[in-house]
């Protein structure tokens, strides 16, 4: 309790410290997160590229009405945070036509937007200016935040129960076998701790593999250790703890694991929350629902659990200038199902319905606490085009694109050069259908491939257009449109 009060006091101090700068030029901190392969890097790159190069954004009111005078990059306010390397990501997408590397750490970028107010009275005072501070961080780290409220025994019981579940037990065989040979009451043994941690990490990595696409993988740093690799704070694992077990005996294996678990929370989880997460104003959560749909109901159920855990970590609330001085809150949250370009537009509403079903519980809670919540299907970079193909005398809605090298369907493997037309199948009208045990979209003819980034289009005058997208403009309008009014 004392620790929590101290944290809240520090959050308030940090907010007051940043107030002076906001009085000169207002700033908005936008968090961008999502689990592995959800498209965080691509989203930020496309957002910046389109704003800076006058992209086609008809549903972003400030851009559509011509009120954005300029968007430019400026030095970020946090000197100790790595800069988001937008230039190399744009080069990868537009030059090499490859997807940029995924998020492995927190990074930040400041985009300053000069704009004309929509209000006649405000326009008489000159142009407005907004610092948009974009904070990119792995969604797996969000899954660590609920650990702050859990002791080691609770974490262990939940993790071991999950490892023994039907969807995971075959992936956790080696870890469970090593666990069975360990006695939590035995003397602390560094070699045993390292074996358990290695087997537990390998099990988490197997869960994340494409064919399983499981999402509940805390502790998040086990798969993204960075400079903590090999440290005691990452050399622990859940033990088989009884429900009514007494506190571990000093000097025991359980006591050593408990101490390292608490060190992980103190030195990894809590600083991330304090220095980055607790300072956000807006949040977009990118969700690769298609990847989970490919893997089946178990992956979808796991994704639903992960999103519920993520939502418990947010600090939603209605924004007010006075309240935000002491206690910053996220007042708008957008959940976006990415890779909508892998489907025909007729299926986008169905994809949104599946996402709404995935986030229903947490979204209702966030709305109740005062935050605005929206759900949409989008593609920050549109890699396909739409067409109609004839199959057995029937016209089918298709998508055209270049599959990534190694992608395959119906026994044919693609080389990453040839463009194809394919009918990806239709999602069911009832979103509940994909959650039912035994549901198999593959048997229903639904299959999603991964495609290369598109070639940029040129106008008749030879002007290269910005990266194409699906509903990036609508996302921008929801996330920042009110601050450019």
pLDDT in tens, 253-282: 999 999 999 999 999 999 999 888 889 999
Q: How confident is the model at residue 120 (pLDDT cuts 50, 70, 90)?
A: low
Its pTM stands at 0.88
- Alpha-carbon distance 52 to 55, whole Å? 8
CATH of domain 2-137+277-381+471-484: 3.40.50.300
Q: Is the pLDDT of residue 227 over 70?
A: yes
Reported as a single tens digit per residue, the pLDDT across 387-433 is: 988 877 888 889 999 999 999 888 889 999 999 998 888 899 999 99
Looking at residue 325, what is its pLDDT?
44
Q: Give the residue extent of every domain in the chain.
A: 2-137+277-381+471-484, 145-271
Task: Find the mean pLDDT for residues 346-372.
Answer: 85
- Alpha-carbon distance 239 to 98, whole Å? 42
Q: Bigger pLDDT: 55 or 326?
A: 55
Q: How confident is the model at residue 2 (pLDDT cuts 50, 70, 90)?
A: very low
Run of H or E residues at 64: helix 61-64
In this structure, of 66-80, 210-224, 231-245, 305-319, the range with the lowest mean pLDDT score is 305-319
Cβ contact 231:222 at 8 Å: no
Q: Is the pLDDT of residue 4 over 70?
A: no
Q: Is the pLDDT of residue 122 over 60?
A: no
Both tokens of 117, joined, read 């107010």
Mean pLDDT of the chain: 88
Q: Which residue in 320, 321, 315, 286 sits closest to 303, CA to CA?
A: 286
Percent of the chain residues past pLDDT 90, beyond the cut: 62
Both tokens of 284, joined, read 């977009």
Q: How confident is the model at residue 321 (pLDDT cuts 50, 70, 90)?
A: very low
Looking at residue 399, what is its pLDDT?
94
Q: Own/partner pairs for 128-131, CB < 8 Å, 24+ apart? A: 128/484, 129/25, 129/26, 130/25, 130/26, 130/27, 130/28, 130/480, 130/483, 130/484, 131/25, 131/26, 131/27, 131/28, 131/74, 131/77
- Alpha-carbon distance 216 to 167, whole Å? 12
Q: How confident is the model at residue 84 (pLDDT cuts 50, 70, 90)?
A: very high
Terminal Cα-to-Cα distance of the chain (whole angstroms): 41
Reported as a single tens digit per residue, the pLDDT across 138-178 is: 888 888 998 999 999 999 999 999 999 999 999 999 999 99
Q: Is the pLDDT of residue 357 over 80?
A: yes
Q: How confident is the model at residue 186 (pLDDT cuts 50, 70, 90)?
A: very high
Q: Is the pLDDT of residue 23 over 60?
A: no
Q: Is the pLDDT of residue 379 over 70?
A: yes
């Amino acid at each position: 309790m004392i620790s929590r009060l101290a944290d809240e006091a520090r959050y308030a101090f940090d907010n007051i410290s940043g107030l002076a700068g906001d009085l000169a030029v207002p700033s908005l901190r936008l968090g961008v997160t999502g689990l592995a392969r959800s498209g965080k890097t691509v989203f930020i790159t496309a957002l910046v590229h389109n704003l800076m190069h006058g992209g086609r954004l008809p549903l972003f009111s400030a851009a559509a009405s011509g009120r954005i005078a300029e968007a430019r990059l400026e030095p970020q306010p946090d000197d100790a945070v790595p800069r988001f390397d937008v230039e190399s990501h744009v080069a990868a997408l537009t030059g090499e036509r490859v997807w940029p590397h995924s998020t492995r750490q927190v990074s930040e970028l400041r985009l300053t937007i000069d704009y004309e107010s929509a209000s006649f009275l405000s326009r008489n005072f000159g142009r407005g200016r907004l610092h948009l501070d974009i904070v990119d961080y792995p969604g797996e780290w969000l899954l660590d935040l609920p650990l702050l409220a859990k002791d080691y025994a609770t974490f262990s019981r939940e993790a071991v129960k999950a490892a023994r579940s039907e969807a995971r037990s075959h992936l956790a065989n080696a870890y469970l076998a090593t666990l069975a040979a360990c006695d939590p009451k035995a003397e602390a043994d560094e070699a045993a701790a390292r074996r358990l941690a290695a087997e537990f990490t390998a099990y988490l990595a197997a869960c994340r593999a494409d064919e399983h696409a499981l999402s509940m993988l805390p502790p998040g740093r086990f798969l993204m250790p960075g400079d903590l690799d090999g440290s005691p704070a990452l050399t622990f694992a859940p033990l088989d703890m009884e429900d009514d077990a007494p506190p571990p005996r000093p000097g025991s294996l359980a006591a050593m694991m408990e101490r390292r678990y608490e060190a992980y929370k103190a030195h990894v989880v809590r600083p991330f929350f304090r220095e980055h997460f607790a300072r956000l104003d807006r949040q977009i959560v990118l969700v690769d629902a298609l990847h989970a749909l490919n893997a089946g109901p178990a992956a979808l159920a796991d994704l639903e659990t992960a999103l519920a855990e993520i939502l418990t970590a947010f600090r939603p609330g209605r924004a007010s200038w006075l309240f935000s001085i002491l206690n910053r809150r996220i007042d708008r949250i957008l959940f976006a199902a990415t890779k909508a370009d892998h489907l025909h537009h007729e299926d986008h509403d169905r994809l949104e319905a599946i996402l709404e079903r995935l986030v229903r519980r947490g979204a209702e809670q966030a709305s109740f606490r005062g935050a605005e919540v929206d759900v949409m299907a989008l593609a920050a970079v549109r890699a396909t085009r739409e067409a109609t193909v004839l199959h057995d005398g029937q016209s089918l809605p298709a998508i055209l694109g270049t599959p990534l090298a190694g992608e395959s369907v119906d026994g044919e493997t693609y080389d990453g050069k040839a463009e194809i037309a394919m009918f990806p199948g239709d999602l069911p009208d009832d979103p509940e259908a994909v959650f039912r045990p035994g549901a198999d979209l593959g048997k229903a003819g639904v299959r999603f491939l991964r495609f290369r980034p598109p070639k940029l289009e040129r106008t008749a005058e030879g002007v290269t257009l910005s990266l194409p997208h699906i509903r990036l403009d609508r996302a921008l309008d929801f996330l920042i449109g009110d601050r450019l009014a």
